[in-house]
């Protein structure tokens, strides 16, 4: 766990884009409180915030931490950083929540590693902490006061629509490289099921991976036949992505479409394809939009990715806790959603007519809201 008293953190400036996002969410704010919560008085120096990310082995969450540090420096907030030992490590996150309660923080920002953290979050709310999820909405969504996140289903759908157009009517032999196989989290099934929906494949249950028909026809683009080889977990890591891809290739060497939960998993999947002599002729798509991932789109490792903005999520989250602590104002969710949508953009250097996207040159200037 890292602790950053406001007096010792380095000065870092706010980004104009993030400032606009903060203004937007504050415009959507409404006064109110919740059971077991209280709005504190005093200055921002009295406001303690804990950011608990999934893991620091993924650069996505490192960027989120950096965004929180920027926001904390700008507001004079007492920020504590904590992280799971690996993606899926719920126990370390639960301990960090209990630590935040013990030291009297005003609020918690968390990217939940799984459903086991929900009870600890309720304990924090009962103790008066304002709780915010980032990137990954918990289940149920109201286990926290609000979530700032990408619309992960929309992100998946965008890369699915792009893939369908690139196939140009050819048969799709699909490998799905997911996050987990031992627990269910919304970011996992929303991206996977969004991708299949974008391709034009009927998904039986939008909250469950792997229950759709393994063969049939897709309706996206010009339409055509498809076969789903299988779903393999990567735990969002490069080595996991490589192992998952090796397993799927052993089941069907004719794979020509690879969906990956994130860009580290995509990089690993590509290494497996390369080792098998299949680095060309396979469409690899992903979600994240980090600088390294955008570079992989530019070099052709990834055909398209959906860019999200973890720095903005963190900055908005810190500001929301400050506002709630000072005057009891709470941000509102986006229309029709159970969370505040921080936006997503399709990134590709092979644009599709009628499908809005940005190229890698533009994406590299805003990767993760830097």
Q: What's the domain count of the chain?
A: 2
Q: What is the reported pLDDT for 35?
A: 28
Tokens standing for residue 68: 């929180």
- For residue 306, give every residue at least 6 positions away whose Cβ sits within 8 Å of its Cβ, in sequence order, or none: 150, 155, 156, 158, 159, 286, 287, 288, 289, 344, 345, 346, 347
Q: What is the reported pLDDT for 351?
A: 98
Angstrom CA distances, 292 to 117, 167, 215, 267, stand at 30, 25, 34, 10
* Alpha-helix runs per DSSP H in 103-151: 118-126
Q: What is the reported pLDDT for 58?
A: 87
* Alpha-helix runs per DSSP H in the chain: 16-27, 59-75, 90-102, 118-126, 152-167, 186-199, 238-251, 263-275, 291-299, 310-327, 360-366
Pairwise CA distance, residues 154 & 131, whole Å: 25
Provide the domain limits for residue 77: 2-150+309-338
Q: What angle do CA 46, 49, 55 make, to 5 degrees?
A: 160
206 plus 273 within the same structural domain = yes
160 plus 297 within the same structural domain = yes
Phi, psi (5° rounding) for residue 194? -65, -40
For the chain, give the longest Cα–Cα distance.
Answer: 64
Pairwise CA distance, residues 114 & 94, whole Å: 10
Output the domain CATH number for residue 161. 3.40.50.2300
CA 349: distance to chain centroid?
A: 22
119 plus 48 within the same structural domain = yes
106 plus 209 within the same structural domain = no
Low-confidence ranges of the chain (pLDDT < 50): 2-44
pTM above the 0.85 mark?
no
Q: What is the reported pLDDT for 7?
A: 34
Which candidate, 305, 258, 292, 298, places its Cα nearest to that of 278? 258
Q: What is the reported pLDDT for 1?
A: 52
Angstrom CA distances, 330 to 5, 25, 32, 34, 281, stand at 25, 9, 6, 10, 49
* pLDDT (tens digit per residue) in 120-170: 999 999 999 999 999 988 989 999 999 999 999 999 999 999 999 999 999
317 plus 303 within the same structural domain = no
Q: What is the reported pLDDT for 370?
A: 56
235 plus 87 within the same structural domain = no
Pairwise CA distance, residues 159 & 348, whole Å: 10
286 plus 175 within the same structural domain = yes
Tokens standing for residue 87: 């993606």
Question: Do you know the residue count of the chain?
Answer: 370
45 plus 145 within the same structural domain = yes
75 plus 172 within the same structural domain = no
248 plus 301 within the same structural domain = yes
Please check whether residue 262 is in contact with residue 60, taking contact to mean a CB–CB distance below 8 angstroms. yes
166 plus 41 within the same structural domain = no
* pLDDT (tens digit per residue) in 95-106: 999 999 999 999
- For residue 206, give every residue at least 6 positions away whose Cβ sits within 8 Å of its Cβ, in sequence order, or none: 153, 189, 190, 193, 197
178 plus 98 within the same structural domain = no
């Amino acid at each position: 766990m890292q602790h950053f008293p406001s007096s010792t953190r380095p000065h870092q400036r706010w980004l104009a884009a993030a400032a606009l996002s903060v203004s937007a969410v504050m415009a959507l704010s409404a006064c109110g409180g919740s059971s077991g919560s209280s709005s504190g008085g005093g200055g921002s120096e009295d406001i303690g915030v804990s950011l608990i990310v999934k893991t620091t082995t993924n650069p996505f969450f490192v960027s989120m931490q950096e965004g929180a540090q920027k926001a904390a420096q700008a507001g004079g907030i007492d920020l504590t950083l904590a992280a799971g030992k690996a993606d899926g490590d719920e126990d370390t996150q639960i301990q960090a929540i209990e630590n935040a309660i013990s030291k009297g923080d005003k609020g918690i920002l968390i990217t939940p590693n799984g459903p086991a953290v929900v009870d600890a979050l309720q304990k924090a709310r009962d103790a008066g902490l304002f709780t915010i999820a980032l990137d990954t909405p918990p289940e149920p969504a109201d286990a926290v006061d609000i979530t700032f996140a990408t619309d992960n289903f929309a992100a998946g759908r965008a890369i699915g629509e792009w893939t369908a157009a690139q196939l140009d009517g050819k048969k799709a032999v699909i490998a799905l490289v997911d996050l987990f196989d031992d627990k269910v989290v919304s970011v996992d099934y929303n991206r996977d099921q969004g991708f299949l929906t974008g391709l034009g494949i009927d998904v039986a249950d939008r909250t469950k991976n792997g229950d759709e028909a393994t063969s049939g026809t897709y309706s996206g683009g010009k339409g055509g036949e498809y076969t789903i080889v299988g779903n393999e977990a990567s735990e969002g890591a490069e080595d996991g992505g490589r192992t998952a891809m090796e397993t799927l290739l052993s089941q069907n060497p004719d794979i020509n479409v690879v969906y990956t939960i994130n860009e580290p998993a995509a990089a690993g999947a590509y290494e497996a394809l390369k080792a098998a002599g299949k680095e060309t002729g396979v469409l690899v798509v992903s979600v994240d939009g980090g600088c390294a991932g955008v570079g992989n789109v530019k070099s052709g490792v990834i055909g398209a990715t959906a860019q999200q903005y973890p720095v903005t999520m963190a900055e908005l989250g810190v500001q929301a806790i400050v506002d709630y602590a000072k005057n009891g104002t709470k941000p509102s969710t986006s229309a029709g959603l159970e969370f505040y949508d921080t936006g997503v953009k399709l990134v590709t250097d092979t644009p599709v007519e009628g499908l809005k996207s940005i190229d890698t040159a533009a994406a590299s200037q805003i990767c993760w809201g830097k």
